[in-house]
Amino acid sequence: MKSVLPFLPCFFLLICCRSAHEAPSLFPPQTLLDSIRPEGIHAHMVFLSDDLLEGRAAGTRGHMLAAKYIAAQFEEMGLRPAGENGSYFQNVRLRRIETPKGGCRLVEKRDRKVRTLAFNQDFVSEGSELVAETSVEAPLVFVGYGVTASEFHYDDYAVFEDHLECSGPFRKFLL
């Protein structure tokens, strides 16, 4: 898979290098600074965040569209490619963890009632590249948003201090 060498924040930084060769003693030259307009930056951001790019997940069609767009902008700025085979791209090995549809479930048992929660609708969970399948049965604690912000005198865990140990791995959060 291919990836643009500099990441998106570098893209905007490199705009400042656009015409540095014109006046090396003035970096960045005032003429360049005068040419950077909020509307221009906004236009790049609108395109790169558009649903047309399908989220830009690594290795997807949307990712390649975004990468080629940025490479075209680099070329237009006159930046020399530093990637493989004289391009702006570099081959990068990527791994993806994907939960198959119906492959992850959470069953809540409470007060003799059983409720099966839907993955990515009622709960989210991260996968592991080390473990293909896991089954766990343990108590689940609801902790609101799971926020502790002492500077605001707010702590979702405060109610558990005297009543329940809340240091285990299973907590139910609001998202």
Cα angle 63, 68, 70; round to 5: 95
Range of 15's domain?
2-91
User: What's the predicted TM-score (pTM) here?
Assistant: 0.48
Per DSSP, the three-state class of 30 is: helix
Is residue 163 in some structural domain? yes
Angstrom distance (rounded) from CA 26 to CA 141: 59
Quick one: 113 and 136 in the same domain? yes
Quick one: 124 and 154 in the same domain? yes
Is residue 18 in some structural domain? yes
pLDDT in tens, 100-149: 777 777 888 878 889 888 888 887 777 677 777 777 777 766 777 778 88
Give whole-number Cα distances, 56 to 47, 49, 52, 97, in Å: 12, 9, 9, 16
pLDDT in tens, 37-62: 999 999 999 999 999 998 888 888 99
Q: How confident is the model at residue 27 (pLDDT cuts 50, 70, 90)?
A: low
Quick one: 74 and 154 in the same domain? no
